[in-house]
Amino acid sequence: MKDFMKNRLTYKNIEAFVFRLWEREVSEDPISEKEKELLTKWRIRTEKDLDAVHKKESRERILSGLEHYFPQTDISRHSVKRFRTNLYKIAAVIILLLSLGRIFTYTMFIKPDVYLAKSENRIVHLEDGSVVTLLPGAELTVEKSFPASTRVVDLKGDAIFSVAKSKVHPFVVRADGFSTKVLGTVFKISQSGKKKAVDLYEGKVAVSSPGVPVSFLKPNQKWTNFGIAHTTAVISISPVKNSAKKVSAILSLSFNDVPLKEVVTVLESSYSTNISYPKDAEDKKITADFTGGTVGENIESLAFILGLEVQKKENTYILKK
């Protein structure tokens, strides 16, 4: 019984079970309290969205379709009452089975498949041949229509994707506030609070996020928003010879209507430098693309946008009026 409530029995088993209970009820054989309790739960579950008028009309329609199967002879009032009582029981069982059929149809053909990695990694093999490694806490949702002309999945948390190659069927991962589109590649998506990142290992990907240009990554490149809305950066990550360490370098950096104080935070952390600026300018919104420039050139560009002068002292850039 417990397994049925978890949708683990097949539809045919459910149908046979309900009809066995119905036969016992019609024959007036005793039904156990456990069976009555289960039938009550089913009835509540399947009829919760039906109002009284709807249920009455359903019973009447089923009765009108059943009555012509029974002989029309002179019978006593008691027999008529019992006959109609049994018909109502049949109608109730048919309504129940139809409702269970809808539940079965939704579960088998409509309800998306959801995969959850709890305390350890979980590997998911998709129908197109792609393989997804969910990291602890991640959740992957796959529609029943997958794979379609565009292969779309939804991701919460972190995961590594090894996407089966297809030149005509793009693979799209919709994450929290951004999406990654590929034709066939290996990449990792990371999500920690507001901070999002995509690390590319093989192939090419396009990462899109509201308010900023689409970023195209090549192998050994990383996309990130630094945890700031309307911000995007592409970072090159290169291994250090004879070492396990890696060196990163910013290839592009874009801000769209972002407060100066947050722009400065990104620049300081990205270039390991300090930037001083007038306090009254910290909330000024900045829209800028810093591509391919050095730290000095990018800060000069920022100062130009603000109408400020730049002065450098050791590892500190001072923006002043």
Domain ranges for the chain, please list them: 2-110, 117-320
Rounded percentage of the chain residues whose pLDDT exceeds 70? 67
Fold of 117-320: Jelly Rolls (2.60.120)
Q: What is the mean pLDDT of the chain?
A: 80
- Strand 316-320: give its sheet, edge to edge: 274-276, 316-320, 309-313
pLDDT at 23 over 60: no
Confidence of residue 319 (pLDDT cuts 50, 70, 90): very high
* Model confidence at 67: pLDDT above 90: no
Q: What are phi and psi of 160, to 5 degrees?
A: -110, 130
**The pLDDT of residue 245:** 81
Residue 153 pLDDT: 95
Residue 84's pLDDT is 56
* Structure tokens given for 68: 């012509």
**DSSP H/E element including 90:** helix 77-105
> pLDDT tens across 210-220, in order?
889 899 999 99
DSSP bridge partners of 253: 233, 290
Lowest mean pLDDT among 7-21, 124-138, 187-201: 7-21
Q: Which residue, among 57, 34, 37, 54, has the nearest Cα to 45 in the 3D structure?
A: 37
Give the residue, 73 or 223, on which the prediction is more confident: 223
In the chain, the amino acid numbered 170 is: P
Q: Give the lowest-confidence range in 8-22, 204-218, 236-250.
A: 8-22
Beta bridge partners of 122: 134
